[in-house]
């Protein structure tokens, strides 16, 4: 693309040293995260002074987790939600936006815990779908990420009837003979990634029913990021490395818009060398990223001068001090 801030030959006066920041929309908090945070804040207020535990990360963002730790909410993280529940013996337990298996819910109630269910309504819809399909005798292929809590919860609906796949190789190795087959997806995956696997499944099992469950918040953020990235030189995704949807934003920008994309947790992670020669920088954020962190990144970039190639005499981004990031208030 043309660089609208290039120095014209023989003139230094018209040079604009600042990058243009494209604030990609929609970005950041989705309705599921907003509702989950609200539910946990309410539980922390109502049960102040009593034990309140969060079963795994409420959302995959360290800053949100830290905010609640400061309010006395205990994070219980373990390889599975069931294992985490073993560590909760009293008080209130909050189930995260990612959802849990029916077994986890039943066991929490059997232990006499006060259960606050903050499962996102979009995840609940996938659970309902899988319940209905398996109840009608379907075998279900579930496209999701091994080790992520959302597939763990969905697979728990009917462990013997659901097959988790996360790559084309996994799809190729499936041995399924059922005449009633369906495929569905983790809500936070990339639309384009799942499409390749769904296409392969259709080739192998032409009768398979497709239920794409990628949530609209994820889809809209990915589509907006790809479209905007085509007009940018580089894209910054603000989000935690633990966040599946933030990582997917990086992936779709780099694979589909063919632009460099970097994931940063806070403004402190930005590196001047990413912006050498850049005129337009896109900024987006994962669905679990606190707004304040994205605002800090945007504010920093807006006052940053485009760094020059090494050896240039002009002062670049290093001249602007990066602020310390602070905890979110929303």
Q: How far apart are CA 195 and CA 260, in angstroms?
A: 23
Minimum distance, C-beta of residue 35 to ligand SF4, in the bound complex (Å): 8
Active site residue 67: no
Among candidate residues 150, 152, 213, 305, the one labeled active-site is: 150
Cβ distance to ligand SF4 smaller for residue 52 or 123: 123
Q: Which residues pair with 230 in a beta bridge?
A: none
Cβ distance to ligand SF4 smaller for residue 120 or 182: 120
Cβ distance to ligand SF4 smaller for residue 35 or 255: 35
Q: How far apart are CA 191 and CA 195, in angstroms?
A: 6
Cβ distance to ligand SF4 smaller for residue 33 or 54: 33
Neighbours of 157 (CB within 10 A): 24
Minimum distance, C-beta of residue 273 to ligand SF4, in the bound complex (Å): 31
80-88: Cβ within 8 A, 24+ apart: 80/152, 81/55, 81/56, 81/149, 81/152, 81/153, 82/107, 84/55, 84/56, 85/55, 85/111, 87/53, 88/53, 88/55, 88/113
Backbone angles phi, psi at 115, to 5 degrees: -95, 125
Minimum distance, C-beta of residue 307 to ligand SF4, in the bound complex (Å): 34
137: left (phi over 0), alpha (psi -120 to 50) or beta: left
Minimum distance, C-beta of residue 34 to ligand SF4, in the bound complex (Å): 9
Q: Which stretches of the chain bind ligand SF4, using CB under 6 A?
A: 30-33, 97, 120, 122-123, 187-188, 215, 217-218, 245, 287
Catalytic residue positions? 150
């Amino acid at each position: 693309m043309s660089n609208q801030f290039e120095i014209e030959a023989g003139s230094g006066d018209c040079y604009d040293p600042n990058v243009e920041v494209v604030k990609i929309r929609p970005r950041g908090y989705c309705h599921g995260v907003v509702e989950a945070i609200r539910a946990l804040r309410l539980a922390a207020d109502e049960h102040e002074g009593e034990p309140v535990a969060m079963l795994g990360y409420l959302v995959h963002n360290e800053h949100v987790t830290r905010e609640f730790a400061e309010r006395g909410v205990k994070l219980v993280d373990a390889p599975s939600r069931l294992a985490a529940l073993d560590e909760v013996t009293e008080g209130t337990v909050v189930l995260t936006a990612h959802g849990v298996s029916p077994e986890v819910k039943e066991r929490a109630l059997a232990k006499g815990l006060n259960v606050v269910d903050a499962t996102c309504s979009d995840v609940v819809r996938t659970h309902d779908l899988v319940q209905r399909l398996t109840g009608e005798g379907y075998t279900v292929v579930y496209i999701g990420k091994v080790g992520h809590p959302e597939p763990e919860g969905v697979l728990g609906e009917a462990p013997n009837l659901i097959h988790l796949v996360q790559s084309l190789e996994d799809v190729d190795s499936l041995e399924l003979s059922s005449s009633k087959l369906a495929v569905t997806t983790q809500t936070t995956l990339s639309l384009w990634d799942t499409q390749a696997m769904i296409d392969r499944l259709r080739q192998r099992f032409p009768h398979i029913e497709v239920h794409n469950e990628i949530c609209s918040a994820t889809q809209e953020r990915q589509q907006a990021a790809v479209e905007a990235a085509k007009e940018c030189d580089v894209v910054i995704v603000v989000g935690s490395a633990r966040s599946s949807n933030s990582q997917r934003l990086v992936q779709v920008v780099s694979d589909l818009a063919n632009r460099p994309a970097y994931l940063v947790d806070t403004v402190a992670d930005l590196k001047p060398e990413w912006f050498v020669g850049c005129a337009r920088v896109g900024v987006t954020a994962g669905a679990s990223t606190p707004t304040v962190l994205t605002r800090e990144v945007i504010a920093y970039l807006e006052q940053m001068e485009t760094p020059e190639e090494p050896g240039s005499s002009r002062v670049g981004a290093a001249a602007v001090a990066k602020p310390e990031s602070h905890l979110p208030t929303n």
